[in-house]
Amino acid sequence: MLDFPRWKTIGISIILLLGIIFSIPTFLPQKTMDSLPSFLQAKVNLGLDLAGGSHLLLEADIVDLRKTQLANMEKTVRTAMRGESGPDDDIAIGELSTAGGKISFLVRDQTKLDAARERLFSETQGAGLTGQRDWSINVIDSARIVMTPTSAGQAQAVKNAMDTARDIIDKRVNALGTREPTIIREGDDRVVVQVPGLDDPAALKELIGKTARLEFRMVDANADPAEAAAGRVPVGSEIVPYAEGEGSGAPFEVLRRQVMISGEQLIDAKQSYDPQNNQPVVSIRFDSGGSSTFAKVTAQSVGKRFAMVLDGKVLSAPSINEPILGGSAQISGSFSVASANALAISLRSGALPVKMTVVEERTVTPELGADSIRKGAIAGIIATVSVLVLMLVVYGRFGVYACIALAFNVFLIIATMAAFNATLTLPGIAGFVLTIGAAVDANVLINERIREELKRGRKIFQAVELGYSEASRAIFDANVTNVIAAALMFWFGSGPIKGFAVVLTIGIVTSVFTAVTVTRMFVAHWLRTKRPTSINI
Amino acid sequence: MRLLKLVPDDTNIDFLRWRKVASFMSFFLVAVSIALVAVKGLNLGVDFVGGQSVRVEFTQGMPPIDEIREKVGDIGLGEATIQQFGSDKAVSIRTALPDGDKSAAERAGQQLVSGIQKAFPTAKTGSVETVSGKVSGELIRTGAISLGLAILGISIYIWIRFEWQFGVGALGRLFHEVSLTFGLFAVTQMQFDLNSVAALLTIVGYSLNDTIVVYDRIRENLKKYRKMEIVPLLNLSINETLSRTVMTTVAMVLALGMLLLFGPDVIFGFTAAMLFGVFIGGYSSVLMSTPVLVWLKVGPHSFVPRTTAGMDGGERVERKDDGAVV
């Protein structure tokens, strides 16, 4: 007990000092923090439930993704069969169907069956590390080719789509200019978006919820409106509804299926005003390929109408008065400045490869958050002070040591959390309270034990020694069980429970260290230098 | 300076004398809690049932709850659950999960907020939560799994570190604490959400500390006083740790009481649950967690390594059957 080697004292002091140094930035305002050296920039983040902000959980529509995947493959099949070197190279196919999530078609000339398979084979790819291809190609009835997506291929497609979606959402949220948003993938098909300080998530949802798939398509002038209303349209055309609040007269347009230009060919989109009526519009610019296509098509189709389609809804369908040559166009619709801006951002960042739906939303206004923090801090201080006073009144000098250790414990928890860049949430505070309780309890155990040993007539040094060693066993067991609980909660729990587990784990380690090792150092030092003949505990 | 002693020296209270009463009371309370949860049910928050919840603060005097209920009903999202929230100016308004696809909850959330703003222009909406049915189901599942596994893992550790009887005792005690806390949530109809699960886990953790401290002392005394009968030995162990139990409980009550009085209202339910847990914990460590050891016939033999005992019969202490009969 008394031989507390110098290196240990120095080691402990260094740890405590580091604890204080690294916990300081957390208490400093952001401005002061920015002027600190970079290794001191780490601080504890406050969770959105404390600081205010929005948390959104988005889930991908996998069914929709499969549909898109199938539609794309259908297109690929058509192109592949058309051949590269002119009509001679074509492989005639028929009865192309996408029913049941498979692509099935007839090869008219059976001698070309192998060639058709060959072409499809080069269009499909290996999926992941398994060596499995993303589509399996089978021939049935000696003339029909059936393509089925493999499970590895589907998993790969979801993964790719989610990675892209995450990046696109990241771009969009950052374009809002908000401070330190967090965008992470969760599970197979989800993305979490957290934006601190944002109290109106409507704009955010508007922005990231849009798939932003933009298409320019020709209006089918041959379609008979009466027939179309009954749901009958010419081959190669389809009915596309108007977006909410758009269009006049008919609620839909009959459009050619073929897409003239799509959003991928955009190089820029920004919000501007229509010079004629000063309405907010979105100005877009195409890349060179897009520009020439646009010029060619509009030159051929003067007097006809084309439609701008966003996410499967028609925004507007103007007539082409003259060829549009400059490679730029305006998307008009009933926009406000904000919604036009949001659309511009969405278009700039690209279309989401899959439709995303908000399945969970939590928003706390910054005022409420600030109020919680202020009251929480005051209550925390009052609570801590009253516990400290109690320790002092009950254990005297030993209580003082316990109090100092407790203060260090708080610093160490904060420093460790800052080092890991952990986030403190409301349940995290519960974990904090529990570890403080455990630290107090450890000192109570030790001190009660010392009292007991003194009562049994042991000498001071021996009583202190025994107090620490005997109490340590119970302290150890109690804390290991808590770590077990925390680890299980971390692995199996979700959001808030995880936050609780993180703080608990950190707190258990630091509280054992401060409540046992640090107080022991103080006590040993005191006993060695003062050699008291009686102790008051 | 004379130091304060919360518990006088050398207490010798026969706690185990009340073990039948205490056990009966515990069984009774657990049964009542389970019945309450079954009959009244828990006031589950949107985390667990899905739906949307908005916290509204009335800056210029709160209208009567009935008026709020009526106006919220007019929004057309069905019956709303309206609950006072900590202070007397704030309420939480919750409506059920709407039918439809998973984006329905999100749309209903917006509808609720705009509806409230229209009905009460001066009110401020402090926080909005919408959770879809699928997510809430997952949250229930992960919450229950993590709680269950934590309790199980802890009991297994205690079984390994001590003896199986202690593991059973700890399991029983944790079950006791958790049921009673659920009972509290059922009887007060405090909202039960993910934060409540955190409170529950804190109670489990705290109760655990208590159990271990008492059990550790019992294990120590079992090795020390080989010939003592189990009931007096348990009494001795409880008395020896009594001052610690009281001191720790007082410290926790003090700390939580302050958080309850001065803390932000968002942690009110949470602190209240923990405070309750501390009270049950104090009762449990004194009166509830030891009778199990009597029934399960813990004795000095429990800690003598069996192989050694077999080879070296002289060391073996006879089991006192009379001490193990309830």
Q: What is the CATH number of the domain that holds A347?
A: 3.30.1360.200
Give yes or no: residues A430 and A515 share one domain.
yes
Chain B interface test: which of A361, A374, A511 (most B C-beta within 10 Å): A361
Tell me the pLDDT tens digit for each residue of A398-431: 999 999 999 999 999 999 999 888 888 877 877 7
Give yes or no: residues A521 and A457 share one domain.
yes
Q: In Å, what is the CA distance from B320 to each residue of A534, B25, B166, B300, B317?
A: 42, 27, 18, 9, 9
Give the list of residues 6+ apart from residue A250 with CB closer than 8 angstroms, or none.
A225, A228, A229
Q: Judge whether A483 lies within some domain.
A: yes
Predicted local distance difference test score (pLDDT) of residue B179: 94
Phi and psi of A389, rounded to 5°?
Answer: -60, -45
Give yes or no: residues A426 and A344 share one domain.
no
- Higher pLDDT, residue B103 or A237: A237
pTM here?
0.78
Asked whether the beta carbons of residue A379 and residue B262 sit closer than 8 angstroms, the reply is yes
Please give the residue of chain A at the shortest CA–CA distance from B90: A368
Q: What average pLDDT does range B202-224 have in this prediction?
A: 87
Give yes or no: residues A224 and A349 share one domain.
yes
Give me chain B's average pLDDT, please.
83
Q: What average pLDDT does range A277-291 have in this prediction?
A: 87
Nearest CA-CA partner of A145 in A90, A92, A84, A71: A92
Does residue B198 register a pLDDT over 90? Answer: no
Asked whether the beta carbons of residue B270 and residue A430 sit closer than 8 angstroms, the reply is yes
Buried b (16+ CB within 10 A) or exposed e, A485-522: bbbbbbebbbbbbbbbbbbbbbbbbbbbbbbbbbbbbb
Give yes or no: residues A376 and A523 share one domain.
yes
Assign B314 a pLDDT band (cuts: 50, 70, 90). Answer: very low
Chain A environment of B203 (Cβ under 8 Å): none
Q: Judge whether A200 lies within some domain.
A: no
Chain A interface test: which of B57, B220, B244, B268 (most A C-beta within 10 Å): B244
B127 min Cα distance to partner chain A (Å): 4
Does residue A461 register a pLDDT over 80? Answer: yes
Chain A environment of B10 (Cβ under 8 Å): 455
Tell me the pLDDT tens digit for each residue of A77-106: 887 887 766 677 788 888 888 888 888 888
ipTM of the shown complex: 0.81
The pairing of strands A328-331 and A280-286 is antiparallel
Assign B319 a pLDDT band (cuts: 50, 70, 90). Answer: very low
- Phi-psi domain of B189 (left: phi exceeds 0; alpha: psi -120 through 50; beta: other): left
Tell me the pLDDT tens digit for each residue of A338-393: 888 888 888 888 888 888 888 888 888 888 778 877 888 888 889 888 999 999 99
Assign B316 a pLDDT band (cuts: 50, 70, 90). Answer: very low
Predicted local distance difference test score (pLDDT) of residue A1: 55
Helix residue ranges, H only, B19-79: 19-39, 46-49, 65-74
The percent of residues in chain B predicted with pLDDT above 70, rounded, is 90
Decide: A393 and A536 in contact? Cβ < 8 Å. Answer: no
- Measure the N-to-C terminal CA separation of chain A; round to a whole number of Å: 18
Asked whether the beta carbons of residue A396 and residue B1 sit closer than 8 angstroms, the reply is yes
Q: Judge whether A132 lies within some domain.
A: yes
CATH code assigned at A375: 1.20.1640.10
Phi and psi of B280, rounded to 5°?
Answer: -65, -35
Q: Of A107, A127, A150, which one is at a domain's C-terminal end? A: A150
Asked whether the beta carbons of residue A394 and residue B153 sit closer than 8 angstroms, the reply is no
A509 touches chain B (CB under 8 A): no
Asked whether the beta carbons of residue B130 and residue A360 sit closer than 8 angstroms, the reply is yes
DSSP label at A305? B
Compute the distance between CA of residue B225 and CA of residue B196 in angstroms, rounded to an integer. 43
Q: Of A107, A130, A150, which one is at a domain's C-terminal end? A: A150
Assign A507 a pLDDT band (cuts: 50, 70, 90). Answer: very high
Q: Judge whether A305 lies within some domain.
A: yes
Give yes or no: residues A389 and A526 share one domain.
yes
Q: Judge whether A285 lies within some domain.
A: yes
Nearest CA-CA partner of A450 in A412, A402, A398: A398
Predicted local distance difference test score (pLDDT) of residue B322: 45
Give yes or no: residues A386 and A520 share one domain.
yes
Give yes or no: residues A382 and A524 share one domain.
yes
A375 touches chain B (CB under 8 A): yes
Q: What average pLDDT does range B50-75 have in this prediction?
A: 84
How many pairs of residues across A and B have Cβ atoms under 8 Å apart?
Answer: 234
Q: How many CB atoms lie within 10 A of CB A429?
A: 27
Asked whether the beta carbons of residue A433 and residue B256 sit closer than 8 angstroms, the reply is yes
Chain A environment of B269 (Cβ under 8 Å): none
Does residue A175 register a pLDDT over 70? Answer: yes
Give yes or no: residues A322 and A372 share one domain.
no
Predicted local distance difference test score (pLDDT) of residue A446: 94
The pairing of strands B43-44 and B191-192 is parallel
Does residue B127 register a pLDDT over 50? Answer: yes
Q: How many structural domains are present in chain A?
A: 3
Predicted local distance difference test score (pLDDT) of residue B311: 44
Chain B environment of A391 (Cβ under 8 Å): 251
CATH code assigned at A132: 3.90.1070
Give yes or no: residues A39 and A117 share one domain.
no
Compute the distance between CA of residue B102 and CA of residue B278 in angstroms, rounded to an integer. 40
Domain that holds residue A343: 210-353
Decide: A269 and A342 in contact? Cβ < 8 Å. Answer: no
Tell me the pLDDT tens digit for each residue of A198-255: 777 777 887 887 888 888 899 988 888 788 888 888 888 889 988 877 766 678 889 9
Give yes or no: residues A337 and A478 share one domain.
no
Count the alpha carbons within 13 Å of B246 in the hemisphere toward its beta carbon. 15
Give the list of residues 6+ apart from residue A321 with CB closer than 8 angstroms, or none.
A302
Chain B environment of A494 (Cβ under 8 Å): 138-139, 142-143, 194
- Higher pLDDT, residue A466 or A72: A466
Q: Judge whether A292 lies within some domain.
A: yes
The SS3 assignment for B152 reads helix
Chain B environment of A396 (Cβ under 8 Å): 1, 3
A437 touches chain B (CB under 8 A): yes
Compute the distance between CA of residue A183 and CA of residue B309 in angstroms, rounded to an integer. 62
Assign B318 a pLDDT band (cuts: 50, 70, 90). Answer: very low
Predicted local distance difference test score (pLDDT) of residue A259: 84
Asked whether the beta carbons of residue A205 and residue B106 sit closer than 8 angstroms, the reply is yes
Chain B environment of A359 (Cβ under 8 Å): 102-103, 105-106, 131-132, 134-135
For chain B, list the domains and their CATH numbers: 16-41+136-302 (1.20.1640.10), 51-131 (3.30.70.380)
Chain A environment of B139 (Cβ under 8 Å): 494-495
Q: Judge whether A195 lies within some domain.
A: no
Nearest CA-CA partner of A437 in B275, B185, B223: B275
Predicted local distance difference test score (pLDDT) of residue A130: 59
- Which of A119-123, A157-161, A273-277, B13-17 shows the lowest mean pLDDT across its residues? A119-123
Give me chain A's average pLDDT, please.
85
The SS3 assignment for A434 reads helix
Q: Judge whether A233 lies within some domain.
A: yes
Q: Of A324, A353, A382, which one is at a domain's C-terminal end? A: A353
Give yes or no: residues A74 and A37 share one domain.
no
